[in-house]
Amino acid sequence: MSESTKTDFIELIAENSKVNGLDELTSKIIGILFIEPKELALGELANRTGYSLSAVCTAMKFIERAGIVKKSKKPKSRKVYFYMEKDMLALTLQIMRRKYENIILPSKQKLPKIIEQYKQKSTKESVEELRIVETYYNEVLFFEQILKESIERFEQYDVNKNNG
């Protein structure tokens, strides 16, 4: 494989990442880590992206918190290394589960109480806000249904993929 082929793939992954709202540097890092079979040191990522170590470090904190990459250290080394899962379906499933656990479940728990509090108010403004909150709650419930079905389909695909 030529270096330009590798660069083309990195650029494709970076462009796909930008569509999801990520900035130039973060998208480039994801492209580099996705094609790389082994973990890369933070300094190597800075060299490959052409950005400062500080900028790459900041981007990596965001990517790590999002669960897109894994951080590690090697014994007797002060370097920090990063690795990205190569299975896009597993990565997507992980993101979907995180949304379910960190957005859907807390929203389902808190919104009924918020709705009840709005119902006890009787101003014109509160009635309009109540409508907005109730619509949001219904959308959360709908999104939960879609997310559950999608997670089940991804899990089923994964089982089928591993069995044959």
What string of DSSP letters covers 133-145?
HHHHHHHHHHHHH
pLDDT tens-digit readout, 121-136:
878 888 999 999 999 9
Mean predicted lDDT score pLDDT of the chain: 91
Both 62 and 10 in one domain: the answer is yes
CA distances from 152 to 138, 140, 149, 156 (A): 21, 18, 5, 6
**Which of 155, 42, 137 is CA-nearest to residue 96?**
155
* Cβ pair 61, 55 in contact under 8 A: no
Both 120 and 59 in one domain: the answer is no
pLDDT at 89 over 90: no
pLDDT tens-digit readout, 13-64:
999 999 988 999 999 999 999 999 999 999 999 999 999 999 999 999 999 9
Question: pTM of the full predicted structure?
Answer: 0.72
Query: 3-state DSSP: the chain helix, strand, coil percent, rounded to 5?
Result: 75, 5, 20
Domain of 23, CATH number, reads 1.10.10.10
Domain that holds residue 59: 3-84
Least confident residue range of 12-16, 66-70, 111-115, 142-146: 66-70
Give the residue from 50, 84, 118 where a domain finishes. 84
Give the residue from 84, 99, 117 where a domain finishes. 84
The pLDDT confidence band at residue 1, using thresholds 50, 70 and 90, is low
Give the residue from 58, 84, 110 where a domain finishes. 84
pLDDT of 66 reads 83
The pLDDT confidence band at residue 81, using thresholds 50, 70 and 90, is very high
